[in-house]
Structure 1
């Protein structure tokens, strides 16, 4: 998923998410994490699925432990199940929910791999691979494909 600043301006919550993400990208991870956590508290577990998915996806990257990162990545995946193309396209006309799935599953695979849960990592990698074929042929998709290859290599061969 990639955030578009132009569309965020029309959605105050997305504008706040974008601002917090940019704060994190500038090296102010703790402040970004605090801002996104406060937004999560405002949105709530039953809030707008697009906001929950986007926020949890980016908040995962700001965690200090893999366990905490896994928790946020799981929230992002849970939120995407409540998300529709119509809602995502209110933010940007090109967004399709199925295109979020390879990245979300890749993140979960990497979390599980780093935690030593190789079986779960392989399950999420298989799902990422299943959905990646639906992505367009563009630079973002190549990043996801490369991530899947790298995670597969990091896991090594399946041991019987």
Structure 2
């Protein structure tokens, strides 16, 4: 899979085209192979924001972090993230926000602490 359809779907999400964005992101997810962790990390990250309920949003944010653990530095350079570690804070903060909204304060704090000292893969 190339980055072009992924970036197009992300662009729709960023521009508030929620229905079209969700469909495009899901299509890309379905086409991504399991070993394509970079694409899947980005897709899950943006799919989380398209969910209508907190439980689904949390599952997608957790999936984004799971995919992130498989990335090597430079895997996201094609989308303007030269060091993969630069993507980690956003992933942890999003998941922390999910946990906080779900009343899971300790889990939320754990995610915030990871932002202060991110795990470099």
TM-score (norm 2): 0.87
* Structure 1 residue 117 displacement after superposition: 0.8
Structure 1: distance between partners of 2:81 and 2:26: 28
Tell me how far 1:93 sits from its aligned partner: 7.1
Q: After TM superposition, what 4+ stretches of structure 1 lie above 3 angstroms from structure 2?
A: none
Counterpart-to-counterpart distance in 2, 1:93 and 1:114: 30
Look up the match of 1:64.
52
Partner of 1:119: 106
What's the counterpart of residue 142 of structure 1?
Answer: none
Judged with a 3 Å threshold, the aligned counterparts in structure 2 of structure 1 residues 125 and 93 are, in CA distance, closer, same or farther, namely: closer
Equivalent in 54, 66, 69 of residue 78 of structure 1: 66
- TM-superposed CA distance for 1:26, in Å, is 3.1
Structure 1 residues 25 and 129 mapped into 2: Cα distance closer, same or farther (>3 Å)?
Answer: same
CA distance in 2, matches of 1:22, 1:93: 14
- Which ranges of structure 1 fall in alignment gaps of 5 or more residues? 1-11, 135-160
Partner of 2:29: 40
1:29 and 1:97, CA in 2 relative to 1: closer, same or farther beyond 3 A? same
Gaps of at least 5 residues in structure 2 are none
Candidates 20, 28, 35, aligned match of 2:17: 28
Pick the aligned partner of 1:100 from 87, 92, 104.
87
Number of paired residues? 120
- Cα RMSD of the aligned pairs, angstroms, is 2.2
Question: Which structure's CA Rg is the greater one?
Answer: 1
